[in-house]
């Protein structure tokens, strides 16, 4: 991903989609690291596959259409299609090389094997046949293709077989192609019964079970050749909300069609014949570049099922138990504690259960009159939804702003909305045309005859499961100005009245981008005046061009810009004469970096902000987002230490963005003799707050 600054440097940004693929290459590096437990390496391999699936489902369609029509689609062209396709093919090839040449042999040395058909002994073959007859065959329906049975609808990312048959069917015809769909209900990896006295764990894949018994599905015919296949489709729901009368109903209908969007990628077994491969390409209307021949399972995402079944604690990360937040005393009332000052919870180093405890106390406190909360990605189990339902039962006013359009969580959020409505909660769906991405929880309590507000704000989602894996900052406050802002935002989302002037917070799409630009410009003006200026940023993605352009201009004025950007980043770093004062790094570790922290210092003035938003155009202009300042000096110092300075000193999990647009490991820049003791920000914080084992 080489950067060539054009004649107008303000337009010289890195390619966003190439940057996303570069991030996945960094994730894949964890599958190669010998210091990572073996099963975790396998899981990182699966994570890359999941990320690639989403890349095709969400990002790839414009490039695909540019290839088919030879017309530019936004920034997508035939050239971008070819460049991306070439890089993805190389990434997939590397994935399977790691899987076949490193991970499978390493697992085998530890007595864990995936037994292929040709490797099974007679006892294992009998067991597989019995399993097929009893558990698999009753769920399979082979479809022979003829004019009455055209090529069937193949769902997005489903596992299928294509079979070429010899001989004639029951009616004397020679139709030779058949399709076998593999139901999602079938486990993709099955643990075989152990040999008595042996500690070895042998697994068999569902694809191997089916391929060994394909002749049983076509009695009287000859299986000439076959292949697994899997198609990835465009799956980003697009609704004209102005034309939709009932968003929830429209989304339910849209979800039914999501699995059958435009085909974008076809994966087949490495040994698939050209005849079958070309037949499938023709059916899905795909060009040859869309074909991916893979030497292994066509869906490496399902390796997660294998990892979960293997009994080998020594091959996993050491169990980590987050500590109770240092600012909270177990059993103490949250309301009493917040009267003393704001509280910061650094997840998952500190336990997200404290957030649930805050809501639970609000639900059970008879003095609490109203609870308002946004629901974006809370997970399918919905612990917070159940607490809100209980609040309604106890007579409290409950308002939930449910974002139905949270990508790939639409169905779960519809269910949450319906469960809340069923007990009488007030459910609203935000603003037409905007996603409500802000993470807010507001509690209103009667105290000594007056109403007092308490708020929880977060950089991440209200999801107890991902809160164990994502780094985020939770912020609890009773600050009158900030809680008044949160209340104003909730009222705006429900009533759609004009938003009043906020006292402290910045809200997208109205003020956030403008407010950030003003602070960048203030730093630039200070630097031009000979005063010190520094911008420190931490986020998941930096792709908003107005903000990136402002950072370029600030750096050219002398502002030092340090950014920790986990994923996509269009801002180049260290380019002579262009971004010499910009330094960008990406942290890819055991945990998924997710917190958003923005620090600005110009002259004697400094500000630190937390936010729900990354620096992306959609977050700034097409979403409801919230950023809030941290004014408590002690909390600001803690965030500076734990989220910025510590991450800027990371040498073990950090990657540095080079002037040519490539990333290099920070460890490679360390002196050879010092590499054994390199700093890992995540490990440091895990040791500081939690317990292992």
> Which residues are catalytic, by number?
437
Is-cis flag, bond preceding 387, omega within 30? Answer: no
Neighbours of 385 (CB within 10 A): 24
Tell me if 407 is assigned to a ligand binding site: yes
Following DSSP, what letter does each residue of 204-269 receive, concatenated? Answer: EEHHHHHHHTHHHHSTTSEEEEEEEEEEEE-------TTT-S-HHHHHHHHHHHHTTS-EEEEEEE
Dihedral angle of Cα 548, 554, 558, 562, to the nearest 10 degrees: -40
The SS3 call for residue 544 is: coil
Is-cis flag, bond preceding 280, omega within 30? Answer: no
Q: In which residue are the tokens 């990896």 written?
A: 189
- Do strands 450-458 and 159-166 pair parallel, antiparallel, or not at all (unpaired)? unpaired
Q: What gap in Å lies between CA 489 and CA 512, rounded to an integer?
A: 13
Distances (CA, A) of 44 to 125, 300, 302, 588: 31, 10, 12, 11
Q: What gap in Å lies between CA 654 and CA 349, rounded to an integer?
A: 19
Tell me if 131 is assigned to a ligand binding site: no
Q: What gap in Å lies between CA 347 and CA 84, rounded to an integer?
A: 35
* φ, ψ at 73 (rounded to 5°): -120, 95
Query: 290 and 266 in contact (C-beta within 8 Å)?
Result: yes
* φ, ψ at 121 (rounded to 5°): -80, 170
Consecutive H or E run containing 692: strand 691-692
Neighbours of 360 (CB within 10 A): 17
Give which of 289, 182, 306, 165 is closest to 225, Cα–Cα: 165
Query: 443 and 453 in contact (C-beta within 8 Å)?
Result: yes
CB neighbour class for 331 (10 Å; exposed up to 12, middle 13-18, buried from 19): exposed
Tell me if 534 is assigned to a ligand binding site: no
Query: 375 and 400 in contact (C-beta within 8 Å)?
Result: yes
Following DSSP, what letter does each residue of 22-83 receive, concatenated? Answer: HHHHHHHHTTT-TTS-HHHHHHHHHHHHHHHHHIIIIISHHHHHHHHH-S-BTTB-HHHHHH
Give which of 546, 657, 562 is closest to 23, Cα–Cα: 657
Q: What gap in Å lies between CA 404 and CA 429, rounded to an integer?
A: 7
* Residues whose CB is less than 8 angstroms from the CB of residue 574 and which lie 6 or more positions away in sequence, other chains included: 580, 582, 583, 657, 658, 659
CB neighbour class for 209 (10 Å; exposed up to 12, middle 13-18, buried from 19): buried
Query: 597 and 562 in contact (C-beta within 8 Å)?
Result: no
What is the distance, to the nearest Å, from the Cα of residue 25 to the centroid of all Cα atoms in its chain? 15
Q: In which residue are the tokens 């994502």 written?
A: 470
Q: What are the b/e assignments for 135-151, b being 16+ CB within 10 Å?
A: ebeeebebebbeeeeee
Tell me if 470 is assigned to a ligand binding site: yes
Binding site members: 51, 377, 407, 470, 566, 594
Binding site members for ATP: 51, 470, 566, 594
Binding site members for Mg(2+): 377, 407
């Amino acid at each position: 991903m080489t950067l060539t600054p054009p004649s107008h440097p303000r337009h010289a940004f890195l390619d966003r989609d190439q940057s996303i693929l570069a991030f996945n290459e960094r994730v894949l590096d964890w599958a190669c690291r010998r210091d990572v437990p073996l099963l975790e390496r396998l899981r990182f391999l699966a994570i890359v596959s999941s990320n690639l699936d989403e890349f095709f489902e969400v990002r790839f369609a414009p490039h695909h259409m540019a290839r088919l029509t030879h017309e530019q689609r936004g920034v997508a062209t035939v050239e971008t299609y070819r460049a991306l396709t070439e890089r993805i093919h190389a990434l997939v090839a590397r994935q399977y090389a790691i899987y076949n040449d490193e991970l499978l042999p390493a697992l085998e040395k530890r007595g864990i094997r995936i037994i292929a058909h040709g490797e099974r002994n007679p006892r294992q073959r009998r067991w597989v046949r019995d399993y097929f007859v009893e558990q698999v065959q009753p769920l399979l329906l082979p479809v022979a293709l003829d004019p009455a049975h055209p090529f069937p609808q193949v769902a997005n990312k489903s596992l299928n077989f294509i079979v070429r048959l010899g001989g004639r069917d029951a009616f004397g015809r020679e139709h030779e192609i058949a399709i076998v769909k593999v139901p999602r209900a079938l486990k993709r990896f099955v643990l075989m019964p152990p040999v008595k006295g042996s500690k070895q764990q042998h697994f068999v894949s569902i694809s191997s079970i089916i391929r060994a018994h394909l002749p049983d599905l076509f009695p009287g015919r000859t299986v000439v050749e076959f292949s697994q296949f899997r198609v990835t489709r465009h799956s980003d729901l697009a609704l004209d909300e102005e034309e939709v009368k009932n968003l929830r109903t429209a989304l339910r209908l849209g979800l039914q069609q999501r699995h059958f969007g435009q085909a974008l990628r076809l994966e087949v077994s490495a040994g698939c014949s050209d005849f079958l491969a070309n037949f499938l390409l023709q059916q899905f209307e795909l060009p040859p570049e869309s074909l991916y021949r893979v030497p292994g399972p066509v869906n490496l995402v399902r390796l997660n099922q294998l990892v979960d079944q293997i009994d080998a604690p020594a091959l996993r990360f050491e169990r980590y138990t987050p500590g109770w937040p240092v600012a909270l005393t177990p059993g103490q009332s949250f309301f009493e504690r917040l009267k003393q000052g704001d509280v910061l919870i650094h997840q998952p180093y500190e336990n997200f259960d404290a957030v649930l405890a805050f809501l639970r106390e609000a639900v059970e406190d008879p003095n609490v009159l109203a609870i308002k909360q946004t629901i974006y990605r809370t997970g399918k189990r919905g612990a917070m939804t159940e607490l809100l339902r209980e609040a309604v039962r106890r007579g409290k006013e409950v308002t939930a702003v449910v974002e139905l359009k949270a990508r790939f969580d639409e169905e779960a959020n519809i269910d949450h909305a319906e469960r809340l409505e069923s007990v009488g909660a007030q459910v609203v769906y935000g603003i037409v045309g905007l996603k409500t991405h802000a993470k807010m929880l507001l509690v209103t309590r009667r105290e000594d005859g007056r109403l007092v507000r308490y708020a929880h704000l977060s950089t991440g989602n209200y999801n107890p499961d991902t809160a164990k894996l994502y780094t985020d900052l939770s912020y609890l406050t009773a600050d009158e100005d900030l809680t008044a802002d949160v209340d104003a935002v909730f009222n705006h989302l429900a009533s759609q009245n004009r938003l009043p002037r906020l006292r402290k917070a910045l809200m997208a799409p109205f003020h956030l981008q403008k407010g950030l630009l003003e602070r960048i410009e203030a730093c630039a003006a200070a630097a031009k005046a000979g005063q010190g200026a520094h911008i420190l940023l931490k986020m998941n993605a930096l792709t908003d061009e107005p903000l990136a352009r402002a950072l370029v201009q600030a750096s050219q004025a002398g502002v030092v810009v340090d950014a920790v950007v986990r994923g996509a980043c269009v801002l180049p770093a260290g380019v002579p004469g262009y971004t010499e004062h910009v330094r960008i790094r990406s942290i890819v570790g055991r945990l998924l970096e997710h917190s958003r922290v923005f620090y600005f210092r110009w002259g004697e003035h400094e500000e630190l902000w937390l936010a729900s938003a990354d620096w992306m155009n959609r977050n700034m202009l097409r979403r409801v987002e919230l950023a809030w300042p941290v004014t408590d000096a002690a909390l600001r110092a803690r965030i500076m230490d734990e989220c910025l300075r510590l991450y800027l000193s990371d040498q073990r999990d950090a990657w540095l963005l080079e002037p040519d647009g490539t990333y290099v490991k920070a460890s490679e820049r360390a002196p050879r003799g010092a590499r054994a003791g390199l700093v890992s920000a995540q490990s440091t914080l895990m040791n500081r707050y939690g317990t292992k084992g």
